[in-house]
Structure 1
């Protein structure tokens, strides 16, 4: 008996074809600092040999499903404690810093020490205005830049998360767990900061990423869910409530002249 291992799905209908995911910035202030997310692509690789990894369908398929968000700032940060033992960040670049020391706290914060996952590993958050939305069920997974080589490795690890962007369009942040506080944290503008992977109801459906309009309906919906994390421990428990007040359409692609 011959077994057909290919899974069939309709060629037409609401769950066929590419999945459209919109991205937008939650604020216009300093918008030129934030590059559009772009599809992961390892450029300038050799494709002359038929068996080159650059021509491998599995590699191409994997890369096509990740999108890169680049770092918008140059930062050179150290960790320290004051004379009372309180943890704080140190601007190692000093007067040479691209960001004024008084402004660093607006983009980078240290999580309250009581909320660290490990007592010897400070948690740092880089606040970002990137947000994603879809009108289909789409889960976003935020993860580290495993395909990017750094000559000076980060002194810790990044941890992301996974949530449905169709129900929970919220600004992303870059969260860093500082394992070796004797080494500085150095971030460079333009380098990959993290990757986004999108999952829809069908692992073979490609992702079409478009810039989205911040419509009144989208802004109103985001106001309804904003800040919930400050009042509820398990935010995922609010997904049903969010779905009940969500308009059918929130994604409007931006049209440029």
Structure 2
């Protein structure tokens, strides 16, 4: 699937045309659950009036810069403590849950209480296989889906993040800080889970998101940098070392079927 934002540019050659960003899944297992990222675009808007917000260039420019990743699961999770006072997650759907309990434990993690930013705000992480790459300097910013309305707001906020996918491609995760742990966390399959935004050296250039092949070189490089966060505190300090290992080309567009 290809998603393109078109901006006219008079120049040709390196640094002109759209920035190419590749996306892929780091594992094939259950790949059917994970929809391709989509450009944020609101259909069926009122465009009849010349001053409609749907026709405002500023609004259009803003919306065109964000890509949406949808939630792959239906979840309703509660927070509690066991008889020893240890923090635990509770699957409110029980046997009615679409996700089996053992699989839920594999993908949803309650962060160690000592690592919470605030003692009264539990932090959880949902592991995902989405990964983005680029062959020029591109920063990815992950943030909440602020342009989509929820009738039942989440009882907390998501952790955003920003890092260069050109040198540090890694699987994304959805991290949540539970401000109101007495309220359940409800996620629905198909609803926006988070946005990603891509920034190159020239902010006027368009962004093109394409499906990427998982080549042997790409898999090797990700293995070389993967898991470093478990051993050092400041992974950004490893960027120079990662650049020395990086193949010249990581992004190979996936052949259309």
Fold similarity call, TM over 0.5: yes
Tell me which interval the TM-score lies in, with the shorter structure as reference length: over 0.9
Could you tell me how far 1:13 is from its partner in structure 2? 2.4
Quick check: 1:229 aligned with 2:235? no
Give the TM-score, by structure 2 length.
Answer: 0.95
Could you tell me how far 1:159 is from its partner in structure 2? 1.1
The CA deviation string for residues 159-192 of structure 1, in whole angstroms up to 9 with x for no partner, is: 1100000101100000000000110000000000
What does residue range 16-31 of structure 1 map to in structure 2 within 5 Å? Answer: 16-31=16-31
**Which residue pairs with 1:60 in the alignment?**
60
**Which residue pairs with 2:98 in the alignment?**
98
What does residue range 123-162 of structure 1 map to in structure 2 within 5 Å? Answer: 123-162=123-162
What does residue range 1-257 of structure 1 map to in structure 2 within 5 Å? Answer: 11-257=11-257
SS class of match (1:78)? strand
Task: Tell me how far apart the structure 2 counterparts of residues 86 and 112 of structure 1 sit (CA, whole Å).
Answer: 10
Q: Which runs of 5+ in 1 are unaligned?
A: 1-8
**Which residue pairs with 2:4 in the alignment?**
none
Task: Tell me how far apart the structure 2 counterparts of residues 10 and 84 of structure 1 sit (CA, whole Å).
Answer: 67
Task: Tell me how far apart the structure 1 counterparts of residues 256 and 66 of structure 2 sit (CA, whole Å).
Answer: 25
The count of aligned residue pairs is 249
Give the TM-score, by structure 1 length.
Answer: 0.95
Runs of 4+ in structure 1 deviating by more than 6 angstroms, as ranges, are: none
